[in-house]
């Protein structure tokens, strides 16, 4: 993985907790619009810190195109609330069909952790990226269901090249799940206080 891509991955994971759109006591944690906006904000912050521009809904209706000051496209990004194993999810295919248009590709998605569904999502991504020799960085937010609501666990980062992949990082999906942080202290102060 090239330096700029490694830097983007580190920044994305760090900024994931910044300006988090929900709090531990809000019941609408599973609202799709909150997460979509948060992903866009996190992508933009990471690109900004690399000195790059983020253009939304451009380049063939791509969720985000990240380019340099000369308008050279460095990366394309897509995100989707529905897990990748569902046949109607075409974001990976869109990125694969644009393989000649950028150096790096990003996908942010969600993956249910029970019933081997997580591995089915990873396998579906690998099948769709098969034969592409450029990196696809995949950020997956894992979750389980309880009372028809998603309960988020981890933000996992994978690098796919062709159908091969490596998990490069895992961290708590929600900021107040990170022990020793101000978010954790704040969330549990309300519970204990």
DSSP per-residue string spanning 111-177: EE-STTHHHHHHHHHHHHHTT--S-EEEEEEEEEEETTEEEEEEEEEEEEETTEEEEEEEEESSGGG
Residues 6+ apart with CB under 8 A from 75: 5, 8, 65, 66, 102, 103, 104, 105, 106
For 50, list phi and psi in degrees, rounded to 5: -95, 5
User: What is the residue extent of each domain of the chain?
Assistant: 3-192
- The number of CA neighbours under 13 Å toward the Cβ of 72 is 7
pTM score: 0.91
Q: At residue 131, does pLDDT exceed 70?
A: yes
Q: Could you tell me the pLDDT band of residue 60, with boundaries at 50, 70 and 90? A: confident
CATH, domain range 3-192: 3.40.1350
Q: Could you tell me the pLDDT band of residue 146, with boundaries at 50, 70 and 90? A: confident
Q: At residue 156, does pLDDT exceed 60?
A: yes
Q: Could you tell me the pLDDT band of residue 26, with boundaries at 50, 70 and 90? A: low
Residue 15, number of CB atoms within 10 A of its CB: 18
């Amino acid at each position: 993985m090239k330096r700029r891509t490694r830097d983007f991955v580190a920044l994305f994971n760090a900024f994931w907790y910044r300006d988090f759109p929900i709090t531990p006591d809000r019941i609408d944690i599973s609202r799709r619009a909150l997460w979509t906006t948060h992903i866009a904000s996190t992508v933009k912050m990471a690109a900004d810190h690399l000195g790059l521009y983020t253009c939304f809904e451009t380049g063939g209706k791509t969720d985000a195109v990240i380019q340099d000051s000369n308008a050279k496209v460095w990366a394309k990004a897509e995100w989707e609330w529905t897990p990748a194993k569902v046949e109607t999810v075409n974001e990976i295919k869109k990125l694969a069909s644009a393989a000649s248009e950028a150096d790096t590709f990003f996908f942010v998605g969600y993956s249910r952790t029970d019933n081997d569904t997580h591995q089915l999502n990873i396998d579906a991504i690998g099948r769709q990226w098969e034969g592409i020799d450029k990196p696809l960085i995949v950020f997956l937010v894992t979750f389980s269901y309880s009372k028809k609501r998603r309960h988020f666990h981890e933000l996992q980062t994978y690098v796919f090249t062709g159908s091969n992949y490596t998990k490069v990082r895992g961290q708590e999906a929600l900021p107040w799940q990170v022990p020793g942080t101000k978010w954790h202290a704040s969330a549990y102060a309300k519970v204990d206080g």
